[in-house]
Amino acid sequence: MIVVACPGQGSQTPGFLAPWLANDESRALVERFSDASGVDLTLHGTESDAETIRDTAIAQPLIVAASLIALHALRAAAPDSVIGGIAGHSVGEAAAAAGAGILSEDDALRFVRSRALLMADAAAATPTGMSAVLGGDQDAVVEYITGFGLEPANYNGGGQIVVAGALDALARLSEEPLRGTRVVPLQVAGAFHTHYMQPARDALAGAVADFSVADPKLTIWTNRDGSIVDSGASYLGLMVGQVASPVRWDLCMASFETAGITGLIELTPGGALTGLAKRGLKGVPAVAIKTPDDIPAAVELLTASAESEA
């Protein structure tokens, strides 16, 4: 069973979309997704600098669009291969929802556009940020950071927790890390997945009230607690709630392991979730699709899994 993983914010780098635009189908998708999201994805995916694409309102649509473009390419290259399941990290859940058939691709981009703008507004209200804490016992890290007034935002597994809160508190944590840990500031614009995002969550619930949803055609896991969700309406509600609650990617990986997955393919802009899988899903092969040149390796993983299950 192969699981497709859709990355979240922070995985983007300047120019990462450029290799995909050489393909006519991918270029047409970029144009369509630009219209749906209200963002010039060609410009920001090829020419904009790191600071520009750090902007939440640009980063989130850009990442989700790239993941869907890579998923199209993967399915086109391996039309007879079976993807066993799909999951997204943070905003990647919108790409997963489209990949599983819960939302249309255009609605997934419209959702992300609303999500990004509302989260950007919430982030602008109070200067906040996020840092990754590497190493240490998870419970000990959570207890320690609360002493700084910080909150756990992403439980990423593999010895990594992302914490969020006021910038001065994050600075103090960097100066006084828990023994045995390392603190790495992240290039994001606010304290996502914390109580700071409550206004965004409340407004987003209204913004998606008229969305059309379907039940998933693929097994899909939620960031809420790593469980499988069978209802499209429930999944959409969970995506809305996730804006202001921690991402439990650690529990998603635990569920992958319980399900007996035989491989993980991370969509564009890939790398972060593959790295976590190598530490949290030891022995499970993982492929990150960063450019079209990575598609053959992903197809090979799908083919090998199908042959082993035959």
Catalytic residues: 90, 193
Phi, psi torsion values for 191, nearest 5 degrees: -90, 75
The residues, ordered by sequence, that sit 6+ positions from 267 with a Cβ below 8 Å of its Cβ are 4, 5, 6, 7, 66, 67, 68, 70, 71, 74, 95, 289
With left for phi above 0 and alpha for psi between -120 and 50, is residue 22 left, alpha or beta? alpha
Q: Which amino acid is residue 306, in one-letter code?
A: A
Distance CA 109, CA 227 (A): 24
Q: Label each residue of the chain as H, E or C.
A: CEEEEECCCCCCCCCCCHHHHHCHHHHHHHHHHHHHHCCCHHHHHHCCCHHHHHCHHHHHHHHHHHHHHHHHHHHHHCCCCCCCEEEECCCHHHHHHHHCCCCCHHHHHHHHHHHHHHHHHHHHHCCEEEEEEECCCHHHHHHHHHCCCCEEEEEEECCEEEEEEEHHHHHHHHHCCCCCCEEEECCCCCCCCCHHHHHHHHHHHHHCCCCCCCCCCCEEECCCCCCECCCHHHHHHHHHHHCCCCEEHHHHHHHHHHHCCCEEEECCCCCHHHHHHHHHCCCCCEEECCCHHHHHHHHHHHHHHHHHHC
